[in-house]
Amino acid sequence: MNSMSLEDKLALNKYDIDEELHISVNEDICRTCRNRVCLHICPAECFKLLGEKITYSYEGCLECGSCRLACSKGAINWTYPRGGFGIAYQYG
Amino acid sequence: MINIIVCVKQILDPEMPPGKFKIDPESNKVIPPEGIPLVVSPFDEQAVEAALRIKEQCGAKITVVTVGESSAVNAVKHSLAMGADEGIVVEHIIEGYDSLLTAYILTKAIEEIVAYDLIICGREAADWGSGQVGSIIAESLGIPVVARTRKIEVMDSRLKVEHIIEDGDESLELPMPAVITVSYEIGQARIPTGWGVISAARKKIPSWSLEDIGVDLSQIGDTSSRIKLLKLFTPTRERGCQIIEGKTAAEAAANLALRLREAKVI
Amino acid sequence: MEPTKFDAVVAGAGPAGCAAAYALAKAGLEVLVIERGKFPGAKNMFGGMLCGSVLAQLIPNFWEEAPLERYITRHVITFLSREDSFSIDFQSPSFGKPPYNGYSVLRAKFDKWLAGKVEEAGAIIVPGLLVEDLLWDGNQVVGVKAGGEDFPASVVIAADGVNSLLAQKAGLAEELSTEYVSLGVKELIQLPSEIIQERFNLEDDEGVTQLFDGFCTRGMHGGGFLYTNKESLSLGIVIQLSALRRMGVKPADLLEEFKSHPGVRNLIKGGTVEEYSAHLVPNAGINKVPMLYKDGFLVVGDAAGLVLTTGITLDGASFAFASGMAAAETVKLAKQNGDPSRKTLCNYEKLLKESFVLRDLETFKHSQFFLDNPRLYTTYPELICNLSRGLFTNDGKPRKRLWQLARTEMGRQKLSILHVAVDGFLGRRAI
């Protein structure tokens, strides 16, 4: 089985994407953060480094909540998306 | 207070991942994706929304009608949860997309409901997109129809509507009863509230058979004689990427313009 | 007049919430279930196996109608080194008879079915709505707030899963810590059923579970798993979040690495990925089970951390069913007594202490400490694989006895007899 990119895997999933974000980061804290756990802990890789800045997207979020727990600085504000939105597993 | 009938259709979720849309070439049919529930066609949701706004404006009783398999009751429930008052399921599976047959069954159901001043439909269903049912119902009932309406106002026994045309809007007045079709211009359909879902869950939704409403399929003739689906397929999309070079940004831009002209894009 | 107050509002339509709601609705109570997913099951994922014995108490003969994938008749445990694998394989046709020992299940389908049973029983389910807060009257929980609306209830049952907002809002649970949860990532890989049966030596609806220990987690506390479904495989890894955090490895990369391991890649050959999912699993065991009740409030399932992890068993579903059922018994009692305060609700904890739920967690209370031992994920799997390689190698050199091979390999792994003795002792206590 050929290796598959994460983007292609996420594209298989069914999402109902809300206009409201359910993830945000505190940029002031992120700027001073050294270990930047969010960059690798997220199974959907929602957090990316752009230059020196942590950027994030919420559309591919699998709603596991790992980022919220793993960020020891409390810089990630992750909540559940509004009811009815976000990931909708077909198989689960 | 007026009586409004809204026609809704349950369809495959248009928001499903593109890769999950599969066609069986043998039978020329869409293979329903496993585990993705059917939804109310978005324009039909907007039809319910339009009716609800009239209800809020001047009072109305909204009855929702659908034709489909037994699971279509969920489309009615969704509409009731949004705020519609009553709902009816006509149980009949329409193979393919015979608009005439759909409209015929809906017309019979509407005649059975008897009291109606206004019938609202979605502009077209988001699956087959034929966009004919509303007009055929109006024709069958012998009442006026305005398609693609962005605003509906009830004035006594008349309607004032804004209707979208190619390069602007038209303001029209028409008598009731009438058929109106709407799409996204009407504005976002509301999400059902929790209590809306609860009261919808507590309502009994009658299910009618074709005999109940006096539909005689032999009257309307064989579907296959009217419409024959020759081939159902997903178009192949080709994508490419070219990086336009240039010594300076200005030169690159000029080259890009040239390339776009060659490709007849500009 | 239709009631505007419920006997119970259940937050979450997973196994725990549905079990509670089903039992309550069957007893004629007014029950409301609020589920944040677009449909019940939409947000739910697990590795793959459900033990049915507890559910059978609630819905007898459920296997005749539930959307189950395969009944599990074969269990494999595989140790992985970088390239090699060593498996223990147990297969028993006796597991293939009703009521069956366990089933592979796809949660989006199964939970939807279960929620349908709950509705049939007379409860109302509102999907697509997120419970945001609790309603209070002094110290008593008197309902929930969701989508800006109030839903009053005599008792609120928090079945809102591992990230339980409500248990925290009720002041029962602390914020989760990364040492006490694992992250599971999984792919659903489609394969024709004939190929699955042939490849895994199965008859018709028989299924296999395969657990992997070793290289697949790069030494982190956790493991890999494979479950056969009707026409697909559930393949994934579970890793303790704190370890993942420390190691700086991306879970998606780890899963790709696992899929390309020689011991795995041929099992999934020819399959197409259909879904990629992730979920947290509480793994603290009894040590972190919060206070389970307060006035007008009960916590069940994952929300209460009721999951058993022993390294060989990873079971949350049975605990979810059982805790949901115990919660329902308690709410029935509260209805009878007309008293939803803690005086009645403490009965819930009593029931859980009497049942396997808290007893199993007590029995295996040392598991987590044992499973935190890195040797389990590096030294031992490698030792087993290398030892086997030594045993089966024919290279024309003089052969060694097993014991000699073991001594050499232990030396290479810097593993002393003392280590083995200590780990053996801890293991005996833990699993």
Q: Tell me: the pLDDT tens digits for B57-111? A: 999 999 999 999 989 999 999 999 999 999 999 999 887 678 899 999 999 999 9
Residues of A in contact with C280 (CB under 8 A): 64-66, 69
> For residues C173 and C156, is the Cβ–Cβ distance under 8 A?
no
pLDDT band at C252; cut points 50, 70, 90 = very high
**Full 3-state SS string of C167-214:** HHHCCCCCCCCHHHEEEEEEEEEECCHHHHHHHCCCCCCEEEEEEEEE
pLDDT tens digit sequence for A40-49: 999 999 999 9
CATH classification (class only), A6-84: alpha beta
**Residue C18 clears pLDDT 60, i.e. is over it:** yes
Q: Do B110 and B221 share a structural domain? A: yes
Average pLDDT on B118-141 reads 94
**Residue B10 clears pLDDT 60, i.e. is over it:** yes
Who's near A56: CB < 8 A, 6+ residues apart?
Answer: A23, A24, A25, A38, A46, A47, A48
Tell me, yes or no, whether B16 lies in a domain. yes
Residues of A in contact with B16 (CB under 8 A): 14
* pLDDT value of residue C1: 53
Q: Which chains touch A (3 or more CB pairs under 8 A)?
A: B, C
Select from A1, A81, A88 the Cβ nearest to the Cβ of C271.
A1
Backbone angles phi, psi at B61, to 5 degrees: -105, 125
Backbone angles phi, psi at B195, to 5 degrees: -65, -30
Q: How many CB atoms lie within 10 A of CB C106?
A: 29
Q: How many CB atoms lie within 10 A of CB A52?
A: 7
* pLDDT value of residue C183: 97
Touching check for B199 and chain C: CB below 8 Å?
Answer: yes
* pLDDT value of residue B224: 62
User: Rounded to a whole number, what is the distance in Å from the CA of C426 to chain A's nearest CA?
Assistant: 29
User: Rounded to a whole number, what is the distance in Å from the CA of C45 to chain B's nearest CA?
Assistant: 13
* pLDDT value of residue C189: 98
Task: Please give the ipTM for the structure prediction.
Answer: 0.96
Touching check for A48 and chain C: CB below 8 Å?
Answer: no
Average pLDDT on A11-39 reads 93
**Residue C424 clears pLDDT 70, i.e. is over it:** yes
User: Rounded to a whole number, what is the distance in Å from the CA of B59 to chain C's nearest CA?
Assistant: 22
To the nearest whole percent, how much of chain A has pLDDT over 70?
99
Q: Do B158 and B193 share a structural domain? A: yes
* pLDDT value of residue C429: 85
Who's near C279: CB < 8 A, 6+ residues apart?
Answer: A62, A64, C44, C45, C46, C162, C183, C184
Decide which of C426 and B83 is more confident.
B83
Q: Do B159 and B31 share a structural domain? A: yes
Tokens, residue B194: 């929790």
pLDDT tens digit sequence for C40-94: 999 999 998 998 889 999 999 999 999 999 999 999 999 999 999 999 999 998 8
**How many separate domains does chain B show?**
2
pLDDT tens digit sequence for C109-167: 999 999 999 999 999 999 999 999 999 999 999 999 999 999 999 999 999 999 999 99
Pairing label, strands C293-294, C272-282: unpaired
Who's near B225: CB < 8 A, 6+ residues apart?
Answer: none
Q: Do B127 and B248 share a structural domain? A: no
Residues of C in contact with B199 (CB under 8 A): 2
To the nearest whole percent, how much of chain C has pLDDT over 70?
100
Touching check for A87 and chain C: CB below 8 Å?
Answer: yes
* pLDDT value of residue C52: 84
> For residues C240 and C179, is the Cβ–Cβ distance under 8 A?
yes
Where do the structural domains in chain A lie, given as residue ranges? 6-84
Select from B18, B19, B191 the Cβ nearest to the Cβ of A84.
B191
Q: How far apart are CA B214 and CA B111, in angstroms?
A: 10
Q: How far apart are CA C80 and CA B39, in angstroms?
A: 45
The CATH classification of domain C6-69+105-174+290-354, taken from the options 3.40.50.2300, 3.20.20.70, 3.30.360.10, 3.50.50.60: 3.50.50.60
Mean pLDDT of chain C: 95
pLDDT tens digit sequence for C347-368: 999 999 999 999 999 999 999 8
* pLDDT value of residue B19: 83
What are the Cα distances from residue B79, in Å, to B42, B57, B83, B206, B207?
11, 18, 7, 14, 16
To the nearest whole percent, how much of chain B has pLDDT over 90?
68
To the nearest whole percent, how much of chain C has pLDDT over 90?
84
Who's near C17: CB < 8 A, 6+ residues apart?
Answer: C10, C11, C33, C35, C157, C159, C160, C300, C301, C324
CATH fold label, C179-282: D-Amino Acid Oxidase; Chain A, domain 2 (3.30.9)
* pLDDT value of residue B186: 92
Mean pLDDT of chain B: 92
Touching check for A66 and chain C: CB below 8 Å?
Answer: yes
> For residues C12 and C161, is the Cβ–Cβ distance under 8 A?
yes
Residues of A with a Cβ under 8 Å from any B Cβ are 11-16, 84, 88-91
User: Rounded to a whole number, what is the distance in Å from the CA of A29 to chain C's nearest CA?
Assistant: 18
Touching check for B170 and chain A: CB below 8 Å?
Answer: no
Tokens, residue C282: 């509480």
Backbone angles phi, psi at B213, to 5 degrees: -110, 15
Touching check for A33 and chain C: CB below 8 Å?
Answer: no
Q: Do B124 and B77 share a structural domain? A: yes
pLDDT band at C311; cut points 50, 70, 90 = confident
Nearest C-alpha in A relative to C254: A43
Cβ-defined contact of B194 to C34 (cutoff 8 Å): yes
pLDDT tens digit sequence for B152-192: 999 988 999 999 998 889 999 999 999 999 999 999 999 99
pLDDT band at B239; cut points 50, 70, 90 = confident
Select from C147, C250, C280 the Cβ nearest to the Cβ of A40.
C250
Residues of C in contact with B198 (CB under 8 A): 32, 124, 126
Nearest C-alpha in A relative to B21: A12
**Most distant CA atoms of chain C, gap in Å:** 90
**Residue C276 clears pLDDT 60, i.e. is over it:** yes
Where do the structural domains in chain C lie, given as residue ranges? 6-69+105-174+290-354, 179-282, 369-430
User: Rounded to a whole number, what is the distance in Å from the CA of A84 to chain B's nearest CA?
Assistant: 9
User: Rounded to a whole number, what is the distance in Å from the CA of A15 to chain B's nearest CA?
Assistant: 8
Touching check for C125 and chain B: CB below 8 Å?
Answer: yes
Q: Which domain holds residue B90?
A: 2-226
Touching check for B168 and chain A: CB below 8 Å?
Answer: no
Average pLDDT on C295-324 reads 94
Average pLDDT on B222-242 reads 79
**Residue B232 clears pLDDT 90, i.e. is over it:** no
Tell me, yes or no, whether B231 lies in a domain. no
